[in-house]
Structure 1
Amino acid sequence: MRNAIEFNVFGDYALFTDPLTKMGGEKLSYQVPTYQAIKGIVESIYWKPTLIIIVDEIRIMNAIQMESKGIRPIEYGGGNTLANYTYLKDVSYQVRAHFEFNMHRSDMAFDRNEHKHHNIMKRALKAGGRRDIFLGTRECQAYVEPCEFGKGSSFYDNNNEIHMGTMVHGINYPDETGRDQMEVRLWNPIMKNGIISFPRPEECKQVRHVKEMKAKEFNRTNVESAQDLAEELGEEVNK
């Protein structure tokens, strides 16, 4: 696929919080990552407002295991609350994703250099990402490395279909939709032999309005172009 990257992301723990469990301060993880969580990982590897990251597929490599922990959340107003968080344990996922240009951002047209962005993204992946990698929450540190999607064995290779119920797919932001509002997308994922294929955000039919919001403005004064960044990294500008 054009402008694609494939990588393995893994860590000791993950917490992809089911929003239904947040009401009382407790947190319970979904069994698998959301589209938005994986998108966030790709954007931690390499992100520019010029691009929209599209997550195509995820492959669940290890058995789904959960572990509960007693956590004392930070309470800035004082207090000593003990909450119960249920994490995923010993997780590893293969991811296939690609980027497209954000056509809702005419202010970033000067940065639409497909070749440069793809090269920088691949180098960033080999280096472990340009920002810290997390699996859902900051306390769940993770690591990324290039891989060939589908290579190796998965715990769920021969499990046919597993229905995951209703989950959050992701969030629509104004700069990606052209609408001045934030929306949340829902869907019903099915894992087939360990692989979940994601619909594109615009293909999700269950969309809920959250709040009104304006897109942040970017331009040459606060964004460095891929061409300039490539030159700083020593890439030949004529490639």
Structure 2
Amino acid sequence: MEESRLVVRQFDGKSTETDGIRVFPLVIGHWSLGLGTWDLVILSPKTQRSVANKVDIPYSHRSSMDTEIVYYIVAALLLLLNCVSWIATLFTLPGNWVIVLLTTLFAIFIPTGEGQGISWWGVGAVIVLAIIGEIVELLAGAAGAAKQGASRRAMVLAVIGAMIGSLIGAIFCSAIPVIGTIIGAVGGACGGSFGGAYLGELWKGRERKERLNISSAAMLGRLLGTMGKLMVGAVMVAVAAIDSFV
């Protein structure tokens, strides 16, 4: 096994080498830790313990530093996954409830400490917000179409059409990164909702004017419902991020 020497640098510009320290294959990262007047490059758990002993630095201090770094990496991963889940709402997927699931798992498996972890108050707030988002989407999406006398089959087909339309719209507009995908998904969902409701009422045998009125109401309801749910989802992502990082 090839050996390597770990350099301990002082801030005065001089450098010395600690001999006889083997670097093992299990490398957990290259971090520079300012401890007192020393700047150590950490390569493996055994190496860290050996170097800490040589320069009289408590190993527990290094361990707490490693734990903090790992925590913020996991917290950043939670934020990333929550953002992806929020975007999934554009495709009429239950993104807000995925945020609830991820936040709850984080609260269960990541211990809380000073400035770390997600409190159960935070989890409760995210759950309440997810319920509000569903109510907003339901009221906005169904109220308009139902007021126009939409049939059940038209409402079901409007939902299916919105899912298919959002996917197609996002694909066609993906040439413009991020913004194009979002606009395409929202526009496709609205168009799909219109088409689904129209087909549902055509299937039922409604007159053309009735079909257009119901389809237009379904499209407007889908737009308002999606925007409302996205706004609630953004607040959920913010609540989880603030609770985990602050």
Which structure dedicates a bigger proportion of its chain to strand?
1
Pairwise TM-score range, normalised by the shorter structure: under 0.3
Q: TM-score scaled to structure 1, two decimals?
A: 0.24
User: Looking at CA atoms only, which structure, 1 or 2, has the larger radius of gyration?
Assistant: 2
TM-score using structure 2 length: 0.23
Higher relative contact order (CA 8 A, sep 6+): 1
